[in-house]
Amino acid sequence: MIGKARDAARIAERGPLQTADTQSNEAKQEAAKIRRLQIMISMVMSVISQDPKLTVEEASELVAGTKRAALAMFPDKELAYDIIYRPRLQRLMRERYHLQ
- pTM, two decimal places: 0.75
Determine contact, residues 89/44, Cβ cutoff 8 Å: yes
Domain that residue 45 falls in? 2-97
Determine contact, residues 87/49, Cβ cutoff 8 Å: no
Higher pLDDT, 77 or 2: 77
For 38-68, what is each residue's pLDDT tens digit?
A: 999 999 999 999 999 999 999 999 999 999 9
What's the rounded Cα separation, in Å, for the pair 28 and 18? 15
* Domains identified in the chain, total number: 1
- Cα 94 to its chain centre, rounded Å, is 23
